[in-house]
Amino acid sequence: MQHRSFPPRERSLFSNGDRIGSEGSKRRRKTNNIFKELAQYRRQLGLPPAGSEADRSTIAKLEVSDRSFFGINSSSNPYSREITLRVNPITKTHAEADAFQQAADAGVGGGKARLIVDRDLCAACGIRGGVNSMAWQLGIEELEIITPSGTKTITVKPPKTRRR
């Protein structure tokens, strides 16, 4: 895989910027409820709990434009769908892409959105910009990303892709 340098801003998007302080405990409770919903979805699919020994799956939920879309990584997904969004081949197989693609297929996007994933973002989705790029294609301006390691809000930027 070729290495590219990213501007400092993009690099810092996924540095540890978790919210702390007086709002902390309220926010954590809220976050727990969010993950409960993803855990329930896993159970419905017969998948093991997130982070467990047997877990090989990821569930992502995208909330955009008053709609919610649950995504599953393609190898665990009984309803695996074609990803027509332009994104790196690794992200394409991940739960995040499945969620964003459903929103794209439904023709929704824009504004502020929220992505909840029950596993931390991989490098392809995170620092290499896969998630940002998909959000951009959906016209999303601001994306809150909630993962087990914390919450981050990114301002969606034009993807810096080099066509191959």
Please report, as residue ranges, which positions from 92 to 111 form the binding site for Zn ion (by CB under 5 A). Answer: 94
Dist CA 16 CA 53 (whole Å): 26
Query: Using the rule CB under 5 A, is 127 a contact of Zn ion?
Result: no
Query: Using the rule CB under 5 A, is 122 a contact of Zn ion?
Result: yes
DSSP string of 46-112?
TPPPTTSTT----EEEEEETTEEEEEE-GGG-TT-----S---HHHHTSHHHHHHHHHHHTT---EE
Q: Least distance (Å) from Zn ion to the CB of residue 117?
A: 8
Q: Least distance (Å) from Zn ion to the CB of residue 153?
A: 19
The total of other beta-carbon atoms located within 10 Å of residue 19's CB is 12
Give Cα separations from 150 to 5, 19, 46, 131 (angstroms): 25, 8, 26, 16
Task: Figure out which of the listed residues 108, 115, 117, 125 binds Zn ion, where binding follows CB under 5 A.
Answer: 125
Please report, as residue ranges, which positions from 17 to 36 form the binding site for Zn ion (by CB under 5 A). Answer: none
Query: Using the rule CB under 5 A, is 117 a contact of Zn ion?
Result: no
User: Which one of the spans 64-72, 118-126, 143-151, 152-160 is the region binding Zn ion (CB under 5 A)?
Assistant: 118-126
Binding site for Zn ion (CB under 5 A): 94, 122, 125
